[in-house]
Structure 1
Amino acid sequence: MARRDPRLAVLQARVITALWGVLANRRLPTLWRLARLTGPLVHAFSRRERQVTEINLAQVYPELADKDRRRLARASLTHSAATMLELGLAWMAPPKRVEASILEVHGRELLDAARTEGRGVIVLAPHFGNWEVLNFWLSGHFPFTAMYEPPKIAPLDPVIRQGRERMGARLVPTNPRGVAALLKALKRSEAVGILPDQEPSWGSGVFAPFFGRLAYTATLLPKLVARTEARVVTGVARRLPGRGFAIHFLAADERVYSTDEGESASGVNACVEAAIALDPAQYQWEYKRYRKVIQQQEGRPDYRRYRIY
């Protein structure tokens, strides 16, 4: 693999940071109008995002007519564009302005009840709506720890870290040291965040149903629950287009508390499905959720044969 030119990386980081700074000063109606212009362009010209989104939607909503799936794909890519355009808001805008954009909070009592009982809270945060706004709200209202993987453009790392940590969040690495930090936070009755829909590396997950089709799913959750007796909730920041956001905390599927990894993983995927049901267009369908199933079926250790999915 060719090494990234460090000078190019610095230039890219400066341009992206400047763009985020400009967008941080734009009102939400303006950002949504830009997303509505950008989303159709992504659908038309970005073959990878369009085709992966359409492949996933065909798997999870086979009952939809082709035209309805294409309409949903365009809407999903528009929301993905909106999330990217809103990063400046979440990371750089004055905190009072970001807080003011959160118009509704549903289910906070689930977090409060767990902490009253002296339990930690594991927040499953799927790629739905604007998860950076969810991070902003959580870290501003609770002691909050989340795993963090540095970006491919290394000079962006301090910018992203500052944005995510500015309300008090603690970021830990995606390795055993980070898992140990999550365990300690939960034992202090704090909240931690986990992305439940990221496909783990081989050996770190099991196959479990996701919309009726097997998907390779991480098994970190049952390990955390077994060692801390933490409560689990699903959390999302649903976009109210052009107006703001509604935070939703949903009670977890009871299977997440199972000591059986397959049963727990099935519960995790059911939690993600429940969040998606709030508005399927706001889920990031361009993520290759079923990739390892194809790898296993084909008996291949990698994906070189698949140019799109």
Structure 2
Amino acid sequence: MSGPAPPNATTALPPAPLHPATWPVWLALAAAVVLARLPERLQRWLGCALGAALYRLARTRRRVVERNIELCFPELDDAQRAHLVRRNFGEIGRGAFDFMRAWWGHLGDLESRVEWHGLEHLAAARAEGRGVILLSGHFMHFELCGRLLCQHTRAAAMYRPIRSPALDWAIERGRRRYAETVFPRDALRPAVRYLRQGGVLWFAPDQDSLRGDSTFVPFFGRPAWSLTSTHQLARLSGAQVIPFRHRRTAHGFAIELGTPLADFPGPDPVADTARVMAEIEAMVRRAPAEYLWLHRRFKRQPNGTDSPYSG
């Protein structure tokens, strides 16, 4: 598959920030590039070791993971939740290497170990000349699966800038190795222009955000402050929204592009956002250990209700 050229609004990557204050970050990034190019089996072993260490040492973050799983899976007993927490930290460690590999490493023979489903849905939308929003969630391997997807189609990505200028620059440069272009999450206008040209935009709107274009909708039965951007992007561009599902398998990944969301967008941004979050919840339920439970997804609550992470 091919796609349109990036819109004129896309800017070149600015020069790397080289202030002495950034030098420790650059040293860490140099180490990350080396780790990203280790053999996959060694990365897997190191990732599992890292996850086990984080489980023991990162107690504050472990409590966030434990609380999220308690909130979202009340049907599990204590032993089942504890097992899921441990598995999640194993995925956090492996996911760290997946991120590094996506940005700075080589895929090797990984592409041959991916089970692909639903590429015809993307092809049909492209044949109509319509833009496509690939709806995903923050799984520990979402960057690596995004890079794998870009072996099949030209696509752009949206991202939230990081406070560290050096790290932000390096990650954006890494993404540009495989993404057609990248848009900051608040760059709605150029993203709409790109979609109107028939582009494919990969987007994960499932985190609590300070932005005002958000609303409370259910996520695992609890109110979650959620971006309405999927509704806005689809309404302004006419793009189809296709679920982009991915999970780890014994030998690689299973990646599925679902059927386009029917009658989307509708007239109500809140109802559309609830549909989006229900779709992402279904993705999480298929592979709960692989989701980014480190994020305080429910920290903002309606009507001044206390955060479930307080105390």
Shorter-chain TM range is 0.7 to 0.9
The equivalent of 2:145 in structure 1 is: 134
- Contact kept, 8 Å, 1:255 with 1:267, in 2: the verdict is no
Tell me by how many angstroms 1:200 deviates: 2.3
Closer/same/farther in 2, CA of residues 295 and 248 from structure 1, 3 Å limit: farther
For residues 208 and 147 of structure 2, what CA distance do their matches in structure 1 show? Answer: 24
- What secondary structure is seen at the aligned counterpart in 2 of 1:291? coil
CA displacement, residues 68-112 of structure 1 (integer Å, 9 cap, x when unaligned):
1011011111111111122232122235x2753652222211211
The equivalent of 1:9 in structure 2 is: 22
Pairing 1:234-273 to 2, within 5 Å after superposition: 234-240=243-249, 243-251=251-259, 254=262, 256-273=264-281
Closer/same/farther in 2, CA of residues 198 and 72 from structure 1, 3 Å limit: same
Alignment gaps of 5+ in structure 1: 1-5
CA displacement, residues 128-185 of structure 1 (integer Å, 9 cap, x when unaligned):
141111221333432322223332221123321221011242012232xx21111111
Choose which of 285, 289, 293 in structure 1 pairs with 2:297.
Answer: 289
Greater helix share, structure number: 1
Pairing 1:76-225 to 2, within 5 Å after superposition: 76-94=88-106, 97=108, 100=111, 102-175=113-186, 178-201=187-210, 203-225=212-234
Pair 1:54 & 2:66 matched = yes
For residues 98 and 90 of structure 1, what CA distance do their matches in structure 2 show? Answer: 14
CA displacement, residues 32-67 of structure 1 (integer Å, 9 cap, x when unaligned):
222222212212221122111111111111010011
Choose which of 274, 283, 299 in structure 2 pairs with 1:275.
Answer: 283
- What secondary structure is seen at the aligned counterpart in 1 of 2:304? helix
Closer/same/farther in 2, CA of residues 167 and 173 from structure 1, 3 Å limit: same
**Identity score, percent:** 29
Closer/same/farther in 2, CA of residues 208 and 146 from structure 1, 3 Å limit: same
For residues 129 and 231 of structure 1, what CA distance do their matches in structure 2 show? Answer: 25
For residues 65 and 154 of structure 2, what CA distance do their matches in structure 1 show? Answer: 35
Amino acid aligned to 1:128: F
For residues 212 and 22 of structure 2, what CA distance do their matches in structure 1 show? Answer: 33
- What secondary structure is seen at the aligned counterpart in 1 of 2:209? coil
For residues 80 and 147 of structure 2, what CA distance do their matches in structure 1 show? Answer: 34
Across the two proteins, how many residue pairs are aligned to each other? Answer: 294
- Give every structure 1 segment of 4 or more consecutive aligned residues whose post-TM-superposition deviation is greater than 4 Å: 252-256, 306-309
- What secondary structure is seen at the aligned counterpart in 2 of 1:49? helix
For residues 260 and 184 of structure 2, what CA distance do their matches in structure 1 show? Answer: 25
- Contact kept, 8 Å, 2:240 with 2:264, in 1: the verdict is no
- Contact kept, 8 Å, 1:129 with 1:236, in 2: the verdict is no
> TM-score when scaled to structure 2?
0.86
Alignment RMSD, CA only? 2.4
